Structures are given as structure tokens and as C-alpha cells.
Amino acid sequence: METKVNIDIFTEKQRLGSISRTPYQDAPKSVGDSSLLKIGRMLWKCICKRGVAWKMIKNVLFFACCSFFFIQSIEFYNQYSSYPTTTSIAVVSPKYFKLPAITFCDKNIVWRTHFCAEYPDSCQKPNDIGKFCQHHPAICEKNASNVMIPKFGYYTNISQYSLGEKAWQLFLKIATKSFPTHVPPYLRFRNWEITYVPGDNDLPYAVCYSRNLRIFSQDEQETQEPYDEYKGGNKVQDMYIPSKEYEAFYPFMISPIFFSIHSSVIPENPLTMGKRLRLGHKKRNTFCHFPMQPIAPITMPYGDKTTKKDHGLSRSVL
């Protein structure tokens, strides 16, 4: 009985002592198993190294995520602390504001009487003067018996020459004068500049008159005081443009006047980007009035208090 107990105790100690040892330390020490033992030890070392490497990778990823989270937390705090809880906006209008450029374009660059006086062979009296004057009373209002119109085939014969080319040559001849006759009297000596834009009829260009255009000029842009409803100073420019229906180069249509408001440093073609003006009721003339009108008060996006409120300015055409 005693011998059995001692053996059990010895085997228990031997079992407990083997816990702290590697599985391959208790392997048989025979010559045939030595190679197997070496392979087992190598595999055990590889497993241990992989475990250490994986732990290092997990630690690096953990610290990287913590760093990014910390940085984003700091940025969020800075934005939150700098964001205003109350907003104070001060709107101040300038003492003077710069005026835009104003451009008028007239497609009737050559007057009928000038053309017929220069090229009488390209004009003739209407075939049916009574019917013609009935349809075009403005052309016949001065002297119906001496009315001459270009030979476009409208109440006339058709000219064998290009009337548009002749009209353009006449226009170039007139435009070289110091005070060209094609400039309306109401535009002379008023700081208006003559420009030309591509046309859409027989004439390759249309003549335009621009004010406050500063493309190639070093002059300062025109300015004006802001709108003041108490002083009544809301006028930017008034223009009275008499109709030259009597001098229409094309008798079968009235050459319209085109108008545009644009930047003083950027040219614009009113024929394509502007507005066509309608003739008025009094003697079929055009009157342009450009007022300044206040914009509606600015609506604040937040429930804040405004230190100063003022109106902006806009322009419109009546």
C-alpha cells in the first residue's frame, strides 16, 4: 500500500513539473526522434514570433486611431470655441458709388437722304407713291413728291449693285470726319464714345454710343452719390432719343435702338445681349430714365442684433 502511494505522489509531481516546460522538452531523446524534435522547436519559435509581431501591429493601429481621434477632438473644440454665439453685422454704404457703362446701338448707320445724295443711281422714287406714303407716312411727311428710296425692290426696281457695300463705304467716309454727321446732336460733347459691333443685315456693323466705358482709357470711372429719397437724387442718366424713321435706310422696316447696361471694363453687344427699346407715344420718340432704387432690407440668417442697417443700391430701366 505504501509503495503505491509514493508512486502516485511522484507521478503527480512529475505531472505538475511538466507544466512549466515546453511540449518538446519531454520528448524522447532517441536518435531517431532528434530531427523531429528540432522541427518542433523551430515551429514553436515561429509561432511565438508571429504572436509578438501581431501584438505589435495591434498596438500600432490602436495608437494611430487614438492619435487621429485626439486630433479631431482638438479641431472640433477649436471650431466650437471660435464659432460666435451672437453675430453683429454692420452694413455701410460708400459715399460715392461707381456708375456702370451705358451703351446704345443704332442699326441705321447710314441715313437714307445721305445715301441717295451720294449714290443717286442706286435710288429712285417709289412706283406707287400714294400707296407707299399710306404705308410709311413718316417718310413722306416732309416732301412726298421728292421722296427717294434705295432700290431694294420694295416699291422700286432691284439694283444691280450691292447697296449694303455702298452704304458701308459711305459710313466709313463719314466716320473719318472730326465731328461725324452720323453722331446724333444730343450725344456730341457729352463724353460719349463711338464703338462698333457686328451687325446682322447687309451692313457688317452697327454703330454704338457708350458712356463711362473705360476699356482702353486711363480716366477714372464716373461716380455718383448714393440714393437719397429725401433729396430726390435718384437719377443716374436721362436720355431723349428722337426717332429717325424719316431717315430709315431700309424703308420697309424701322431700325430699332438697342440698349444695354454693363461693366465699364467689359464690352457688351447690345444687339445680342441687350434690350430692344420701344418708341414712345409722343412723336414716336424714346425717353430713357435710369433711376436708383433701394433694395429690400437684408434678412439676417441668425437671431442677432445689427449695429447699423443701411440700404444697398440697384439700377433699373423704365
pLDDT digits (tens, 9 = 90+) for 10-31: 444 444 444 444 444 444 444 4
Q: Could you report the per-residue pLDDT of 252-270, keeping only the tens digit for each?
A: 877 778 888 888 888 888 8
* Residue 50: per-residue pLDDT: 66
Q: Could you report the per-residue pLDDT of 151-162, keeping only the tens digit for each?
A: 988 888 888 777
What is the layout of strands, in order, in the sheet containing 313-315? Answer: 235-241, 286-294, 313-315
- φ, ψ for residue 138 (rounded to 5)? -65, -35
Mean pLDDT score, 197-226: 76
Q: Give CA separation, 238 vs 93, 97, 186, 289, in Å.
A: 24, 18, 11, 5
Bridge partners, residue 308, by sequence: 90
Please state whether the predicted TM-score (pTM) of the whole model is above 0.75.
Answer: no
Bridge partners, residue 313, by sequence: 294
Which of 163-199 are b and which e, b meaning 16 or more Cβ less than 10 Å from the residue's Cβ?
A: bbebbbebbeebeeeeeeebbeeebeeeebbebebeb
Q: 202 or 174: which carries more pLDDT confidence?
A: 174
* Residue 39: per-residue pLDDT: 67
Q: Decide if 286 contacts 257 (C-beta within 8 A).
A: yes
pLDDT of 237 higher than 80: no
- pLDDT grade for 278, boundaries at 50, 70 and 90: low
In this structure, of 95-104, 214-223, 277-286, the range with the lowest mean pLDDT score is: 277-286
